[in-house]
Amino acid sequence: MAKVYIPRGLVIASIGIILLVIGSNMFDNAYDVVEPMMNSKHDLFENEQIMQGKSVNSTIYWNQLDEHSVLLVHVMPPSGSINLQVSEPSNETFEKESKNGFVYHIIDKNPQSQGNYYVKISNLGNDQVSVNVILGEDPYLSGTCDSSNGVECYAIPIAIGLVIVGMLALIVGSLIAINDFRKRKKSDKIDH
């Protein structure tokens, strides 16, 4: 009877990769539904039209920020492609492209680096787009999200947990796969 060899390390590592992907996607999607739970929110742009190849700019002043703020950009039509660029007072610049008509950026109010934040939204697509841009307090990071908001409050901790478990499973699975490979190689040498 032939011995069936199940590469347990590869199975565990594969599960780790799957958990990493699910957790990462869940994290991004959690911010797509955060708007109703945001405190102290206000519009930077409302139904702002951006022509093909053009941009719109805005300034976020230091006093407009909460300790943990989030900038949400909704694009219409959702198939439209935009680039969000945020320049921070520390001279760091962050860029993100929209995915399914949505992009976000988390802004932590850093007392050591006070100043204005500059936002530029560029239309990368072939057609005109409309954007709604909202700035408000991040309910996840500020701790203002509670059970009255429903399961959305638990999306970020669950996503972070999946990513951590996925990374650990990937590491452990890889170590087991390497160890099993060495053992198998050693037993093959003894058999010959």
Please give the helix or strand (H or E) that residue 47 lies within, else none.
Answer: strand 39-50
Query: What would the mean pLDDT of 152-171 be, rounded to a whole number?
Result: 86
User: What's the confidence (pLDDT) of residue 156?
Assistant: 76
129 close to 75: Cβ distance less than 8 angstroms: yes
43 or 191, higher pLDDT: 43
Whether 2 shows a pLDDT value over 60: the answer reads: no
Residues 6+ apart with CB under 8 A from 89: 62, 110, 113, 114, 115, 116, 117
Q: Is the pLDDT assigned to residue 4 strictly greater than 60? A: no
Tell me: pLDDT of 3 over 70: no
CA 118, CA 55: separation in Å to the nearest integer? 13
* Measured CA distances, 32 to 29, 106, 187 (Å): 5, 13, 53
- pTM for this entry: 0.69
| Rg of the chain taking only CA atoms, in angstroms | 23
Query: 97 pairs with which residues across the strands?
Result: 83
Half-sphere exposure at residue 83, Cβ-oriented, CA atoms within 13 angstroms: 14
* pLDDT tens string 61-87: 988 888 888 888 989 988 888 999 999
State residue 137's pLDDT score: 85
pLDDT for the residue 129: 93
Q: Which CATH architecture has domain 39-137?
A: Sandwich (2.60)
**E strand segments, 61-191:** 68-76, 82-87, 93-97, 102-108, 117-123, 129-137
Instruction: List pLDDT tens digits, range 13-25.
Output: 999 999 999 988 8
**Which amino acid, 182?**
R
Residue pLDDT, tens place only, 117-159: 999 999 998 899 999 999 988 777 777 766 666 666 777 778 8
Q: Please state at what angle helix 8-30 crosses helix 155-191, rounded to 10 degrees.
A: 160
Separation of alpha carbons 170 and 16, rounded Å: 5
The pLDDT, as a whole number, for residue 157 is 79
Residue 37, pLDDT > 80, answer no
